[in-house]
Structure 1
Amino acid sequence: MRTTGSVLAVVPARAGSKGIPGKNLRTVAGRSLVRRAVESARRATRIDEVLVTTDGDAIAAEAVAAGAAVVRRPPELAGDEASSESALLHVLDAISTPLPEVLVFLQATSPFIDPADLDAAVARVVDGHADAVFAAAPSHAFLWRTAPDGTAVAVNHDAATRPRRQDREPEYRETGAFYVMRTAGFLENRHRFHGRVELAVVDGAGAIDIDDEADLALAEALAEALAEALAPTSTTTRDPSPTRATPAPNGAP
């Protein structure tokens, strides 16, 4: 297939999941996780093309229905040990040149990705302010670790002079929702954190990463609180190009 713009969004969505069977097709406020990711990307004005990479027939069909192109992921890149980077590299190898200038990696397990946050992050890379930008939520948490002898060790603060939370400079928690990067830098370094890396500070209230049923229940409750169930789900129409990849007719991965 051939990309039609300089900013490509990719949503990796495996069919298998240990924590939640069929996780990427589970719904929050009536919309599957993969659909929510695709629709967030399609609503971002700075993203030209949205693509889902998957090994699952049902996920591929859902992605196409949501308006995304599909690249079928081979089994060796769809196991539990496969990295997200390997899926992104496979996509870039599968599409025709010219490659996109900017690559946006979204995770379907983050159901509340704000298109405005995506646009702001893409702009910082396109405009030359950063080579990579990723979503992070402010945190004032006091972190600890356990030493080999079992004692507790303060990680990000001095336990002897414990400040008030409101007096501490915030640190930032990587949410996993999205990563925006220069494609050339990603290909050269083979990882998402290359060159000048900056944060896209997002609202921590919606920074949920769904890994188990409890996370899914929390997301559903939050969506209800935000009245997401009543929000329109229509997106700007982008007719699929004949060059876009679609699920194999025989359903083969």
Structure 2
Amino acid sequence: MRVLGIIPARGGSKGIPGKNIKTLGGKPLLYHTIDAAKESRLLSQVILSSDDAEIIDLAKSVGLEVPFVRPAHLATDQSGSLEVVQHALNFFVEKGEVFDAVCLLQPTTPFRESGSIDKAIQKFAENSFDSLISVREVPAEFNPHWVFEADEKACLQIATGENEIIKRRQDLPKAYFRDGSIYLTKTDVLLKQHSLYGKRIGYIVSKGERFVNLDTPEDWIKAEKMLNENKK
């Protein structure tokens, strides 16, 4: 299976200005994801997709391939990951290069367990999934069977539609949320179905204690605290 690794890193971040090149743990945020990608033995090729000259130069300085400059219309706050991935795939299609799947690696989730990328690719290759994502287990208190939604009469209803709430934590079915560190999708699903997921979504469970999705200054402080605690 030929898998294209794509690291998306646009300039112009508003929540954390310059976050992709901002130093975290002694190195630019971008490097955490580049290092994880370089560790993989199952990624056929890894590239950067960026519109920003400084980010591009930083990536090239450590040997990451940057085959194109991302168009400005795909580097706004409203730009979606699907369109960014499709742009990269179409670039290679025009060159006659074909990949079976794409592995999207977002720099904003910098703490990946060693070997997690190859673990995900191996599981993906061995099954008939349309996509595979990394997830974490939802704590019991936030399990959808214990979550309520307000109806049109301002009354609370169990979010899952059940009439009776599950009483014991031990009886709750496991629920998961995307942690953002790994997205694997078949090329046909991306280009023909125009979806990052398709219908059959596989998953791997991330179990490392360190987890953060960097979006706000508070998230950054949390990440720095995690790194400092790890050093101790």
Q: TM-score range by the shorter chain?
A: 0.7 to 0.9
Single out whichever of 67-76 and 208-217 deviates more from structure 2: 67-76
- 1:67 to 1:113, Cα distance in 2 relative to 1, 3 A: farther
Partners of 1:138 and 1:204 within 8 A in 2 = no
- 1:157 to 1:118, Cα distance in 2 relative to 1, 3 A: farther
Alpha-carbon displacement from aligned partner over 1:148-194 (angstroms, at most 9, x marks no partner) = 45444432486854423344222001112210111122211111111
Residue 58 (structure 2) pairs with residue 54 (structure 1): no
Alpha-carbon displacement from aligned partner over 1:68-117 (angstroms, at most 9, x marks no partner) = 11131111111111111111111112222222222101111101122422
- 1:160 to 1:16, Cα distance in 2 relative to 1, 3 A: same
Residue 168 (structure 2) pairs with residue 172 (structure 1): no
Partners of 2:3 and 2:45 within 8 A in 1 = yes
- Aligned AA (2:224): E
1:125 corresponds to? 124
- Aligned AA (1:181): T
Residue 153 (structure 2) pairs with residue 145 (structure 1): no
Aligned Cα root-mean-square deviation (Å): 2.2
Is the partner of 1:36 in helix, strand or coil? helix
TM-score, structure 1 normalization: 0.80
- Aligned AA (2:96): T
Partners of 1:24 and 1:59 within 8 A in 2 = yes
Whole-Å Cα distance in 2 between the matches of residues 197 and 186 of structure 1?
A: 13
Residue ranges of structure 1 left out of the alignment (5+ in a row): 231-253
- Aligned AA (1:121): A
User: How far off is 1:137 after superposition?
Assistant: 0.3
Partners of 1:39 and 1:66 within 8 A in 2 = no
In the alignment, which of 80, 83, 99 is matched to residue 86 of structure 1?
Answer: 83
In the alignment, which of 68, 71, 76 is matched to residue 73 of structure 2?
Answer: 76
Residue 223 (structure 2) pairs with residue 219 (structure 1): yes
1:248 corresponds to? none
TM-score, structure 2 normalization: 0.87
Is the partner of 1:189 in helix, strand or coil? coil
- Aligned AA (2:90): D
Whole-Å Cα distance in 2 between the matches of residues 178 and 147 of structure 1?
A: 35
Residue 214 (structure 2) pairs with residue 210 (structure 1): yes
User: How far off is 1:136 after superposition?
Assistant: 0.7
Residue 103 (structure 2) pairs with residue 99 (structure 1): no
Whole-Å Cα distance in 2 between the matches of residues 224 and 48 of structure 1?
A: 34
Partners of 1:125 and 1:182 within 8 A in 2 = no
Is the partner of 1:97 in helix, strand or coil? coil
Whole-Å Cα distance in 2 between the matches of residues 101 and 219 of structure 1?
A: 34
How many positions carry a matched residue from both structures?
Answer: 224
User: How far off is 1:202 after superposition?
Assistant: 0.9
Q: Percent identity of the aligned residues?
A: 25
Is the partner of 2:104 in helix, strand or coil? strand
Is the partner of 2:57 in helix, strand or coil? helix
Is the partner of 1:219 in helix, strand or coil? helix
Partners of 2:134 and 2:203 within 8 A in 1 = yes
Is the partner of 1:24 in helix, strand or coil? coil
1:163 corresponds to? 167
